[in-house]
Amino acid sequence: MAQNWTPPPPVGAQNTVPNNMVIAIIAAVVSFLMCCLPHGVISVIFASQVNKKAAAGDIAGATQAAKNAKLWAIISIVVSVVWLIIGLAFGLIGGIMSSIQNH
């Protein structure tokens, strides 16, 4: 009987962990444009740690840093969108109130 067996990876091979750098940079730019800079910067910092930790052999730490980068990127984008909606709502209400007062 044949058994299914997969050989271990070569000694010098590194496990790949997605670093989420692209989404972190997008989140940083979006949050910068919406004046919520700290959230995007935190995401970029975590994303920059992923490759360093993976190269050092800390795959669990690299995976956690990647998850944190993605989490902070999502937080950054959500906070930016919420502030955009609030700003548009107040601008619209202010425009309507101004229009009512002028007539």
- How many Å apart are CA 7 and CA 13, to the nearest integer? 13
Residue ranges of the chain with per-residue pLDDT less than 70: 1-3, 6-15, 35-37
Q: What is the pLDDT of residue 16?
A: 74
* 10 assigned to some structural domain: no
Domain count, the chain: 1
* 8 assigned to some structural domain: no
* 3 assigned to some structural domain: no
* 6 assigned to some structural domain: no
Domain span at 31: 21-102
Claim: this prediction has a pTM higher than 0.75: no
* 1 assigned to some structural domain: no
Q: What is the pLDDT of residue 46?
A: 87
* 9 assigned to some structural domain: no
Q: What is the pLDDT of residue 54?
A: 85
* 13 assigned to some structural domain: no
- How many Å apart are CA 60 and CA 68, to the nearest integer? 12
Can you give the C-alpha Rg of the chain in angstroms?
22
- How many Å apart are CA 94 and CA 62, to the nearest integer? 47
